[in-house]
Structure 1
Amino acid sequence: MTDLRARITAALTRAHARTDALTDHPDTELIAQHSPLMSPLGWDLAHIGNQEDRWLVRAIGKLPGTTADSRSVPEIDGLYDAFAHPRASRPDLALLSPAQARDYVARVRARSWQVLAECDLGAADALTRNGFGFGMIAQHEQQHAETMLATHQLRAGAPLLSAPPAPSRGRPCAGEIAVPAGPFTMGAAELGITAEPWALDNERPAHTVDLAAFAIDADPVINAQYAEFIDDGGYRRPELWSARGWGHRAEAELTAPQFWRRDGDRWLRESFGRSAPIRGAEPVVHVCYFEAEAFASWAGKRLPTEAEWEKAARWDPAEGRSRRFPWGDEDPTPEHANLGQHHLGPAAVGAYPRGDSALGVRGLIGDVWEWTSSGFDPYPGFAAFPYREYSEVFFGGDFKVLRGGSFGTDEVACRGTFRNWDLPIRRQIFAGLRCARSI
């Protein structure tokens, strides 16, 4: 269990450090609501602590063998219940002050480390077995860190964040990759070399999906291609859009990706308080599902289904099996993908050759989330664990699945089976697209 405890320690330490970096700003920044789409940063901070409190301190901490002080402040649970209060209304709540939130989070973390030191990670309890509960909390914190990163992108004023630029040299776009017809294993396995002990309930169970042959772009759509779509009247041609998409385009007055603006004959993009010309070889980011759908139509293609995306990412025809990641079964490194907020934007396509899939598809992990055409639904045999509100309550709604992670996604919350979802109108998320077609 030494290696497992070390993995948990690394994941939680990384998550804690990132949360601190995203919230280590004046109190006015944590109290302000920078967009009605987002919570105040201070709410996210205390919510992260509250979830760790609930699951690590109060749930796992009460199991036999642990002696951590599980006393808490459950009277704040309702304030930080994401389902009880819409984001737009959260500033009106009697929230903890930034100082109180920081103190609360520090106390929770101290207790969590004690729980980790004492608990039996090999116990039969499903919450502790293989460290699942700790992995779940690390993923939850990193997901909120990406949400807080989006809040930073939406805020006005001088930049608060900095990072080295993403790689600007890659490889030219590589056209399409043909994916042969046939079955493959989709979803997270319980056992074996591809087992994902920290996979969340919506990724399970692994199951066989038989797909017809299709072609998928070797690279995500880049800014230069998207600018061509705009210049060809892409936002003025209703025939390229679905009826719902065209209605939303008109209502929201969409004319380009969010944060793009014209400057003479060039496009500029606002990114975390800085303005710079778009780089043509980078994946386009901050487009909604309807924009992605329209671009694919303009290109004479379509968006891939979720199953097609996963087969392109995981299927290894030489070995006849699904891999954990496009490049194989080993965890990501900085040479594989642009993950973990090491940069504040996508890299040029083809900048991570070690991340190519067995089929030759590139950039499937990191840089930008990729819209798929699939709705967010359960897999056959789905069972909610450890609570319905993580996945089950979202099934069957208006949500579309996104895959692959972004430059703002941590490796703990990104794998070949990981499923993200959002409403088709959302653009503040770090989302782009990749096209496919039937063959």
Structure 2
Amino acid sequence: MTTTDQSSGLPGGAATEVERARERVAEALLRSRARSTLLTDAVDDDDLVRQHSKLMSPLVWDLAHIGNQEELWLVRDVGGREPVRSDIDELYDAFQHSRASRTELPLLSPTEARTYVAQVRDKVFDVLDRVPLHGSRLVDGGFAFGMIVQHEQQHDETMLATHQLRVGAPVLHAPDPDPALVAPIGAREVFVPAGEFTMGTSTEPWALDNERPAFQTHVDAFYIDTVPVSNGDYLAFIDAGGYDDPRWWSEVGWAYRQKAKLTAPRFWQRDGDRWLRTRFSVVEPVPVDEPVVHVCFHEAAAYAKWAGKRLPTEPEWEKAARHDPATGRSRRYPWGDEDPGVEHANLGQRHLRPAPVGSYPKGASPLGVRQLIGDVWEWLDSDFQPYPGFAAFPYREYSEVFFGGDYKMLRGGSFGTDSAAVRGTFRNWDHPIRRQIFSGFRCARDARPAS
């Protein structure tokens, strides 16, 4: 006999799953808001309203925008409640105002923004308590709530990047990665055999529209680096004159290198015969054993060509990260289907730096590729395009309007990415010139001897 939960009208087992989803949503909402609070309380009001770079919004805009998106989707749409502040919708519409122009808007003050997001969150928890998490695609499994959690965490990572750009005394602090989680790397490359695998997902409850649907795709055999390219590796490229030799750069990349006068990753500066970097207002020697970070796509591609390799494509990266040749299935994460633990990956702003290459052996893929999740976003030599069968949901502006631009793909997340906002299928994209993001890379090559 099947028992039924009278409050939800669902069979007992299904009702239990709904309650688990409700608990998962509540925990994720609290975690994301704690991080937003940390990032905005760390500085004074002058810093919150200041624009630290034309590439970024003032921190106070990000905070109120987080609340406005939460209000639009969860309070008004899912909850059917009256607006909290409908008068500010246009101010916090990311498509209406460029980042560079947002300081000119009549934005909420820091006190007003904090009051607003708190009012919205109170209503959201009331909605979460009352709305069934089943019955429509928008709420099944808590999707709309998960979408908003991911949105907030994405803006938290953006705010973290703004902190990296600000000038002043250090205000963020975190322990360094655990050196006990570093293990010998062994082979520098991993062979990935040819064949089909399942790319994307049709089952991940919080997967966004550009990750869907799952489909079969063939990938030729290739080699991929076991770990990301390190600062030490990249220093060899600099010392060999890589920035001064157009042979290694694409035509577009070389033109940009000259225009932007690139000579090293962003935030690096030469000090005599050594290199220093600025990391969240701390100036320190460049650590040779960490993955290189703050390089653009053009720099990554030039290094790869200099090394006799290339950047992976998006299908190659995902196959290396998810495909299990023993079972033929694709995993949620390189290590399996369980959510990330501290032993698997460097995520969630737990550390304010990438972990040394060779870290997290328990997070390796079935083939032995490491650090595919966390540490640094990895540039890939693929454009942002929809998967076969793509359908925009729940709105075109998340993905569809970006297809066909000059965007290059980034996969895997960084030390500043929360576990709710990354998985083996998660897709990120940006302009190939961007360097303020926490971006690095690893190399690949065809399955033939390197030239």
Same fold (TM over 0.5): yes
CA distance in 1, matches of 2:28, 2:199: 25
Name the aligned partner's letter for residue 382 of structure 1: F
- Within-5 A mapping of 1:153-302: 153-168=164-179, 170-173=182-185, 174-190=187-203, 196-302=204-310
Instruction: Please provide the CA RMSD for this pair.
Output: 0.8
- Partner residue of 1:65? none
Find 1:3's aligned residue among 14, 20, 28. Answer: 20
- The residue type equivalent to 1:91 in the other structure is T
Match among 341, 352, 369 for residue 333 of structure 1: 341
Q: Is residue 86 of structure 2 the alignment partner of residue 74 of structure 1?
A: yes
Letter in 2 for 1:280: V
1:137 maps onto 2:148 in alignment: yes
Unmatched 5+ stretches in structure 1: 63-68, 191-195
* Counterpart pick for 1:60 among 78, 81, 88: 78
The alpha carbon displacement at 1:167 in A equals: 3.2
Q: Deviations over 1:103-135 (max 9, x none)?
A: 000000000000000000022x21111100000
> Counterpart in 2 of 1:13?
30
Question: Matched residue of 2:295: which SS?
Answer: coil
Distance 1:88 1:160 in 2: 24
Q: In the alignment, which residue of structure 2 is the partner of 1:51?
A: 69
Give the match for residue 92 of structure 1: 104
- Letter paired with 2:289: A
Q: Secondary structure at the match of 1:2?
A: helix
Tell me the SS of whatever aligns to 1:389.
helix
TM-score, structure 2 as length reference: 0.94
**CA distance in structure 2 between the partners assigned to 1:189 and 1:84 by the alignment:** 32
3-state DSSP class of the match of 1:262? strand
Are the equivalent residues in 2 in contact too, given 1:369–1:404 (CA < 8 A)? yes
Aligned-pair CA distance for 1:172: 4.2
Of residues 1-10 and 409-418 in structure 1, the stretch that sits farther from structure 2 once superposed is 1-10
Aligned length: 427
2:157 aligned partner, one-letter code: E
1:172–1:349 Cα contact (<8 Å) kept: no
Q: CA deviation at 1:150?
A: 0.2
> What corresponds to 2:368 in structure 1?
360
Residue 291 of structure 1 deviates from its aligned partner by: 0.1
**Which 10-residue stretch deviates more, 406-415 or 260-269?**
260-269
Counterpart Cα distance in 1 of 2:178 and 2:293: 16
8 Å CA contact retained: 1:370, 1:433: yes
1:42 and 2:60 matched:
yes
Displacement, 1:266? Answer: 1.5
8 Å contact 1:158–1:273 — kept in the other structure?
yes
Contact 2:177–2:351 (8 Å) recurs in 1 = yes
Residues of 1 paired with 2:356 and 2:183: CA distance? 8
Aligned-partner Cα distance in 2 for 1:98–1:311: 45
| C-alpha displacement of 1:26 | 1.1
1:377 is aligned to 2:395: no
1:165 to partner: Cα distance:
1.2
CA deviations on 1:37-68 (whole Å, 9 max, x unpaired) are 00000000000000000001000001xxxxxx
Q: Judge conservation of contact 1:284–1:432 (CA < 8 Å) in 2.
A: yes
Q: Report the alpha carbon displacement of residue 161 of structure 1 after superposing the two structures with TM.
A: 0.7
> What are the equivalent positions in structure 2 for 1:403-414 lying under 5 Å apart?
403-414=411-422
| SS of corresponding position for 2:90 | helix
Contact 1:164/1:342 (CA < 8 Å) preserved in 2? yes
Secondary structure of residue in 2 paired with 1:235: helix
Deviation at 1:281, TM superposition (A): 1.1
Q: Could you tell me whether the CA contact under 8 Å between 2:71 and 2:83 is conserved in 1? A: no
Query: Residue 193 of structure 1 aligns with which residue?
Result: none
In 2, Cα distance between equivalents of 1:238 and 1:172: 35
* 1:420 matched to 2:434: no
Structure 1 residue 168: Cα displacement: 4.3
Separation (CA, whole Å) in 2 of partners of 1:282 and 1:317: 30
